[in-house]
Amino acid sequence: MTMRNILLGATMLCAATTPAYAYAQDAAPATTGDTTDYGNEIIVTASKRSQTLQDTPIAVSVTSAADLQNSQIRDLIDLQSAVPSLRVSQLQSSANTNFIIRGFGNGANNAGIEPSVGVFIDGVYRSRSAAQIGDLPNVERIEVLRGPQSTLFGKNASAGVISIVTQKPQYEFGGSVEASYGNYDAIVLKGNITGPISDTIAFSLGANFNRRDGYAQDLKLGTDVNDRNRWGVRGQLLFEPTDALSIRLIGDYDKIDENCCIAGNVIAGPTVAITNALAGGVSVDANNPFSYRVYNNFLSSNEIENYGGSAQIDYDLGSLALTSITAYRKVQANTNQDSDFTGADLIGEKSDNVGIDTFTQEVRLTSDFDGPINFLVGGYYFNEKVDQQSAIRFGTQFRPYGDALIRAASGNALNVAMLEQTFGALEGAPTRYVGTFFRAGNGLDEDYQMKNEAFSLFGTVDFEVTDRLTLTAGANYTQDRKRFATDVVSSDVFSGINLDAAAYAPLRQALLVAQGVPAPTAAFLAANPTTTLPDGRSANPLAGLKAFQFLPPFLNVPNSVEPGRTKDKDLAWSVRAAYELTDTVNVYATYATGFKASSVNLSRDSRPLAVDLPAIRAAGLATTNLVAGSRFAAPEDSEVYEVGLKGQWSVAAVNIAVFKQSIKGFQSNVFTGTGFALANAGKQSTFGVEFDGSVRPVDGLNLTLAVTYLDPKYDSFVNSAFGDISGTKPAGIPDLSVSMGGTYTYEFAGGTKAIAHVDYSYESPVQIVEGLSGFPASVAQNLKREVNQLNASFTVALTNGFELGVWGRNLTNAQYLTTVFPAVAQSGSVSGYPNQPRTYGVTGRFKF
């Protein structure tokens, strides 16, 4: 019997049997204003049990619905301003978002690379960022679990978990409607309604609409860009036919149709003069990424559909509770981008059409015995299919652009037309290549498929040694299998030329003689083009042209040497001791391991491993200009040593964690200017301290402070895209991150409330990327990011349920680059994604 059948059978048992789980997590709908609860009643499910935050011996940050409302946090990108250990980066499209916790995380840019940070919505795993970034639904709270969580959450939680919990349907009729208007003609509409259908059935319906003009201007196309246009609907049914049985059904659909994302010019290299000439004027706003002015040939498009449904069944068996969560998700993301980010028509198409179908099934049994021992055991099944069609094609001006590059590289000794004629003549077909090099419409047509099946068995045991001391041990056994296939065809004729071919020896010899090399020596070197000269240069005078062979022939997989599959298994485990020092202060100590399965390189940059090249050549499979690379990255294994303290008093609360966390085989995916380099780091480790506290000095005033200090390093990373960077500090991880805020609620006679809120987030200066291909290390070292963001809101809430407020995010209009990268096919230039500028607006809300 398969694991899938076992779990489905348990689901049916869960639905058919009958006695009631005390739903401590069913908190009442959030109210406006200060909701910080110092009475030890904040309920979280970080350990898949309902516990108070105070009693949960895990480093977890909780953001309430009121916090989201006051700070105008609309999606997970905004959430990072409230959680200093979390970083979220929007990359080249609305479908590409990267989540990082404590400096660990990856997953964007490639459908075959799963994230290191797992995102769950109502217990359902969202495997790709396109399924996570829509406007947040009717949220009750967001829990950010820091550090490896594989014991309970399985694969892809090696760095942490983001768990979003939405409000359940209520048996009391109610709801809300909300409308916001802001700068850039931003309009946000939200509404939800909930209530009873019968004594045992409740429902809720919600919808949202978010539209905004772009905050950047495309001066060539004469339109705004980086707009927002998304909407969604969500429905729930809650069946509680008995006190023991609860069935929650959720269905949702959301759609994104946006123009995103602009890249500004950070460093203008020598190719800018060429693109300016081709564009007939300005092609980039040189060295000015924060002008929010760009020049493109066509609008980038992002059409993303995300929908699915889930069924959660909870059944109380007395001292045991059985839970089943069954879910299906579908993501269809169609994107296209002018990826050269210039006014010259270099890249005519860069499209990705990705479909992801995901089925998950979880079953768990939780005990609630009066004795000293309790347990949780469960199983999890995951089945996913990825189907991706991509294309990249030369634009109408890439041929003259390539000609200019070749002329510059050869000192005007060579040009495109001359090479076409010469190569053809030397092959005995003078017209073979005429007009074919860098021809408009040529490029790559790509098709990738991957099937991923995984299951895990997990469990934890709690042993109460005394009334104050609890020991916990847990384990998770996971098996993960992936099968992948590619069908990639290159029509880039120039990239299919073997510049070392014997047929071209006369041309090589003539070029060497023209450079002053004696004829006998020139003849020898021309016949042996792979020879390396004493000064390290290639003996082949055509070798410099290899840099312009952008899209070489592709060796598809599976083949007789490469099977196109991975199979991983792992036993992750954890041990923890939690001790109540007093009724208000708890301490804990944890050791835990984590696991992330192999990631597959589903991109045009997929190449055979170096160890496979000899067998590939021996089998006659080698394509022209084939080089080594990676088909996949091996699994990640993480571990953490952590001690923590949690205190909660009548007017204050504090959480402190000190940890040493490391990941062996960290899956690094770095853009090099023409493609992505996927590789495993030997080991990355981080020592860190996290502080999260709040205090209520007077009635109505709540102050919060969260601070994260991180000291990361690559203990070993020999084969990075920039050579051996062992011993260096990983880029993008600030030493210090701070979030602080204050909320003051004043209640007038009669019950009307005025709520003033302000929060500030800070990240210390940090190098943005490890390196930039083609640049000295000092260039990347001098490109740094520092974040200073101020947000505020003021709301008046009337007793009849009506609220009116004003708000602003990034009020000081702070500017920073989220990431930088070598400009596509433009040696010497650097592009970068600027942050979102100041936004502000007014919101009206009515709750009933």
By the 10 Å C-beta count (0-12 exposed, 13-18 middle, 19+ buried), 128 is classed as buried
Measure the CA–CA gap between 474 and 572, rounded to whole angstroms.
Answer: 8
Residue pair 767/781 in contact (Cβ under 8 Å)? The answer is: yes
Q: Which two tokens stand for residue 371?
A: 């004795």
802-841 pLDDT, tens per residue?
Answer: 999 999 999 999 999 988 988 888 889 999 999 999 999 9
Residue pair 284/268 in contact (Cβ under 8 Å)? The answer is: yes
Residues 6+ apart with CB under 8 A from 49: 366, 376
228-269 pLDDT, tens per residue?
Answer: 999 999 999 999 999 999 999 999 999 999 998 889 999 999
Residue pair 337/349 in contact (Cβ under 8 Å)? The answer is: no
Closest Cα partner for 721 from 667, 789, 771, 674?
771
Question: What Rg, from alpha-carbon coordinates, does the chain have?
Answer: 29
Q: Residue 714 has what DSSP assignment? A: E
**What pLDDT is attached to residue 708?**
95
Give the 3-state secondary structure of 636-653: EEEEEEEEEEEEECCCEE
Q: How many CB atoms lie within 10 A of CB 496?
A: 16
Residue pair 154/144 in contact (Cβ under 8 Å)? The answer is: no
Closest Cα partner for 46 from 117, 145, 157?
145
Closest Cα partner for 340 from 300, 390, 281, 389?
300
Query: CA 29, 30, 36, 42: dihedral to nearest 10 degrees?
Result: 30
Q: Which two tokens stand for residue 22?
A: 């005390």
By the 10 Å C-beta count (0-12 exposed, 13-18 middle, 19+ buried), 645 is classed as middle
Q: What is the pTM of this model?
A: 0.89
Helix (H, G, I), strand (E, B) or coil at 634: coil
Give the 3-state secondary structure of 59-84: CEEEEEHHHHHHCCCCCHHHHCCCCC
Which uninterrupted H or E stretch holds 700?
none
Measure the CA–CA gap between 522 and 511, rounded to whole angstroms.
Answer: 9
CA 523 to chain centre: 53
Measure the CA–CA gap between 28 and 171, rounded to whole angstroms.
Answer: 11
One DSSP character per residue, 202-214 reads EEEEEEEEEEE--
Measure the CA–CA gap between 251 and 327, rounded to whole angstroms.
Answer: 10
**What pLDDT is attached to residue 95?**
61
Q: Which two tokens stand for residue 347?
A: 């890249």
Residue pair 241/197 in contact (Cβ under 8 Å)? The answer is: no
Q: How many CB atoms lie within 10 A of CB 172?
A: 10
Cα of first residue to Cα of last residue in the chain, in angstroms, is: 51
Measure the CA–CA gap between 197 and 138, rounded to whole angstroms.
Answer: 20
* Torsional class of 800: left (φ above 0), alpha (ψ -120 to 50), beta (otherwise): alpha
Q: Which two tokens stand for residue 163?
A: 């768990």
Cα angle at 700 between 698 and 701, to 5 degrees?
Answer: 65
Measure the CA–CA gap between 54 and 73, rounded to whole angstroms.
Answer: 25
Angle between helices 505-514 and 519-527 (to 10 degrees): 140
Angle between helices 271-279 and 398-409 (to 10 degrees): 150
Measure the CA–CA gap between 395 and 267, rounded to whole angstroms.
Answer: 23
Closest Cα partner for 73 from 195, 180, 197?
180
Q: Which two tokens stand for residue 198?
A: 């019968």
Measure the CA–CA gap between 692 and 738, rounded to whole angstroms.
Answer: 10
The 8 Å CB, 24+ separation contacts for 45-49 are: 45/143, 45/163, 45/165, 46/143, 46/145, 46/161, 46/163, 47/152, 47/460, 48/152, 48/364, 48/366, 48/376, 48/378, 49/366, 49/376
Helix (H, G, I), strand (E, B) or coil at 153: helix
> Which portions of the chain are predicted below pLDDT 70?
1-42, 90-96, 107-109, 129-134, 136, 672-675
Residues 6+ apart with CB under 8 A from 282: 219, 276, 295, 343
Q: Which two tokens stand for residue 814?
A: 């702070």
Angle between helices 398-409 and 416-426 (to 10 degrees): 80
**What pLDDT is attached to residue 90?**
66
Measure the CA–CA gap between 114 and 817, rounded to whole angstroms.
Answer: 24
Which amino acid appears at position 348 of this protein?
A: G
Sign of CA dihedral 158, 606, 409, 279: negative
